[in-house]
Amino acid sequence: MPRQSPSKRQARKDQVVHPADRRHRILARVAAEQTIHVAELARELGVSEMTIRRDIRRLERDGFVRQTYGGATAHITRSFDVAFNARALQHSREKRLIGMRTTELMDGARVVYLGIGTTAEQFARYLPHHSEMTIVTASLPIASLLGTRPVRTVAIGGSVLRDELSCNGPAAIRALERYRFDLAVIGAAGLSARWGITELTDEEAEIQRTAIDRSDRLILMADGSKIGSATNAVVVGAERIDTLITDASASSAELDRLRELGIRVVFAGRPGLDARTEAQAAAGGSW
């Protein structure tokens, strides 16, 4: 077999697309054309049709597209902004495990505020049926998802923030002020012991802050990439958090600082780590 020249090998290397970027391009194509053809996209990205089909199955599992015609094409299932979809692809496994683990920590809450973002959406996907529970949310995608399930769902209304399809503004604040929550379950753009919970915009921060102020308990869901980081809009101090659900990639030093503030740290998908954390607390160590 003839050997490839260095230039051809380099050209082939340049064609390699990272899986997350590849899925982002699939979503962009679906958003632009409403349909894609597997064979055509495989040729364009320089991968096999089987690889594209696996990508589509992954996107379908996460709720972004629906396969039709035996998988030859895919149609978008909701008109999310592509930037939001791209964020959903980042750390998707961790977010899924965090969402699943958080559903186990409701402790009988009956009136729950559920925040915005991709991790909150994973929580909504795996929330068990609770006919007597009320979920109040600023997220239109989450309200749509839960609206077909046997749980009372309230979308707070107000102006819609395009990037996240979330409600904000004075009308949304007034709607939240009508409730007292047993529990607030939220995600965050960043979390640090110094700056607390931070969000990307002032509008999002104000909604989260209002809901937290009206909640008896606060659970924060944040994958490891968010721990120790801070964005420009501060929501509340970290000491307001009762329980943090994260994954094993989070900075151990930052988690120690958060535990010193009295926060319980739970690791999604790693029950052994949870056990060690609880054992340290029982022995008089920090949470």
Are the C-beta atoms of 216 and 169 separated by less than 8 Å?
no
Q: What is the CATH number of the domain that holds 216?
A: 3.40.50.1360
Residue whose C-alpha is closest to residue 246's, from 216, 280, 269: 269
At residue 274's C-alpha, the angle toward residues 251 and 186, to 5°, is 65
pLDDT for 279:
45
Residues 105 and 28 in one domain: no
> If DSSP codes are grouped into helix, strand and coil, which group holds residue 218?
strand
How many domains does the chain fold into? 2
Q: Does residue 287 sit within a domain?
A: no
Asked which of 45, 60, 86 is the last residue of a domain, the reply is 86
Residue whose C-alpha is closest to residue 31's, from 111, 110, 86: 86
pLDDT, one tens digit per residue, over 183-194 is: 999 999 999 999
Asked which of 86, 116, 139 is the last residue of a domain, the reply is 86
Residues 79 and 108 in one domain: no
Residues 51 and 97 in one domain: no
Query: Measuring CA to CA, how many Å separate 4 from each of 32, 45, 94, 218?
Result: 37, 20, 40, 59
Query: Measuring CA to CA, how many Å separate 168 from each of 26, 137, 231?
Result: 30, 11, 19
Residues 82 and 101 in one domain: no
pLDDT for 285:
37
Q: Which amino acid is at 94?
A: E
DSSP 70: G
Residues 99 and 67 in one domain: no
pLDDT for 69:
58
Residues 111 and 77 in one domain: no
Global confidence as pTM:
0.68
Query: Measuring CA to CA, how many Å separate 139 from each of 17, 117, 122, 241, 270?
Result: 32, 8, 13, 21, 29
DSSP 217: -
Kindly state the helix (H) or strand (E) to which residue 51 belongs, with its residue range: helix 49-61
Q: Does residue 1 sit within a domain?
A: no
Q: Give me the residues of the chain with pLDDT under 70, please.
A: 1-17, 31-34, 60-91, 163, 270-287
Q: Is 174 left (phi over 0), alpha (psi -120 to 50) or beta?
A: alpha
Q: What is the CATH number of the domain that holds 41?
A: 1.10.10.10
Asked which of 86, 121, 143 is the last residue of a domain, the reply is 86
Q: Is 95 left (phi over 0), alpha (psi -120 to 50) or beta?
A: alpha
Which phi and psi (to 5°) does residue 207 adopt? Answer: -65, -50
Domain that holds residue 60: 6-86
pLDDT, one tens digit per residue, over 124-147 is: 988 887 778 999 999 999 999 898
Residues 77 and 144 in one domain: no
Order of strands, sheet of 73-76, starting from the edge strand that comes earlier in the sequence: 36-37, 73-76, 65-68
Residues 203 and 73 in one domain: no
Q: What sign does the CA torsion over 156, 161, 162, 164 have?
A: negative
